[in-house]
Structures are given as structure tokens and as C-alpha cells.
Amino acid sequence: MHDCSETIASVNGILEYFFDFVVMCLDNADYKKEIKTLLPFDIIMQSKLKNVFDESLVKSLGLSMMRMDLDPPTYSLGVSIEIAEGTYNHAIDVTIFISAGKTLEEIEEYVRTDDFATQVRDLFERRVEICFGQTKTNE
């Protein structure tokens, strides 16, 4: 049996790996090369960190990038969470864009900040609460 607090604890346990994963993706030359080939508002490039650490309902956390403009090249940054259906919750697989109109360099700097970590932690916790019906979905 999984409840909301156990699932939030599982997310929090995975987050440090996720933050390292995001930085690793954005530091990778091949990843950046692919991002730069995207056309504005055409394709969203997504990378997921699958959870294989425990029996949690949390299946993956993800990073999404979308090109917004060609010149200057600007992008949107999104994060995603996938939670399997359980006894007390419904399944979710949602991506939330948290930063837009930024250069790749600005996004690379942002994902290394405490503001990014706090925003992601708060967003994921809220999504888990929504998944378990413990908060209203008026966003």
C-alpha cells in the first residue's frame, strides 16, 4: 500500500539524482547539439530518469526542452513526473514548463540554482498531492 506521504518521500529521495541528471544532460555536447537543431514550437525533446531504486509509485522524473525562437535561439525548460496508479491514487504523467524564453546558457545556469531545486520540489509535491486527491486542481 502506498500513500501520499510515502510517495512524496520517494520523490524527495530521487530528486538529488534528478538534479544531477538534468545538469548531466545539459552539459552533454551531443544533447546540446540536438537541442540546437529543433525548430521553434515543433518538437519537445524529452529525457527521463527512470526510477528503479524502490517499489515506489514514482516511475520517472523528466527534463523537457522546446525551442521557442530561432534568432536569438531561446528555449523553454520543463520537468515531468510519472506516477503509476495505486490503491489510493490515479496515475499521472505530466510535464510542466517552468522557464521560457531563455538562452541555453541561461537555462544551464538556472538548473544549478537553489531556486530551480525549490521550484521543482514544490511542483512535484503538489502533483503527488493532486494525484492522491489531497488538493484541488485549480491551476
Q: Worst-scoring range by mean pLDDT, 11-25, 61-75, 87-101? A: 87-101
Give me the residue spans of the domains in the chain: 4-131
Q: Which helix (H) or strand (E) holds 112?
A: none
For position 2, what pLDDT does the model report? 66
Euclidean distance between CA atoms 85 and 24, whole angstroms:
30
- Cell readout for 113 is 540554482
| pLDDT-derived band at 139, boundaries 50, 70, 90 | very low
Q: Would you state the pLDDT for residue 102?
A: 95
* Share of residues in the chain with pLDDT > 70 (%): 92
Tell the residue number behind the cell numbers 530518469, with chain if given.
49
Model pLDDT for residues 25-36, shown as the tens digit of each residue: 999 999 999 998
